[in-house]
A and B are shown apart, each in its own frame.
Chain A
Amino acid sequence: MSTHLVEVIITSKAGVRDPEGETIHKHLILKKGYSAITSVRTGKYLLMTVNTNSAEEALKIVKEACEKLRIYNPIVHDIEVRLRA
């Protein structure tokens, strides 16, 4: 048994609007002249500490929990599950 840190990043799917990202981009970033930044998308970040025998198992458990507990809504969200480097 060892401890693994697993990151979960939830973002809106490509076709789904993100008014928060748009507002940060339009009213803050562009207004202050950072025109090299062409878009902003927001999301949610979760860091989970998982006790399992292997890293693969940790990823599997987190993925399953995210699906089953509707930690993200598959209809509007993309999810990325990865080990913290």
Chain B
Amino acid sequence: MALGKIKADTLEHSTAGSLDTKFVVNGSAKAWVIGSAAAALGNSLNISSGTDDGTGTYHYDYTTALANSNFAGTVTSEVAGTIGSLDNGAHSKTTTNVFVAITNSSASAEDRSHSAKINGDLA
């Protein structure tokens, strides 16, 4: 492959100390998405599709799977007064997709644009 590559286990700053690159590799998001109220994708990384599952419920499939389903996710609604969360109550975590739920202050599902970020291990 013709891509440039720097191999390093440590990054060192002149005064601020050093950082093991495994923190960079393991700590960066492995997938993220900005989705509309109808699951249309505004921007993303490592997502193949969004699915509008119903009012306020969505799921996003990864292009490259995670190694295991023990991932951490952050979901936010992009509209004040509504809450975004991983929809783990209705769906088990898998290595291939993430379920998202948006609710209003009464805990009722509501269609809102949202964003999600997944940290985990890649397969």
A and B interact physically = no
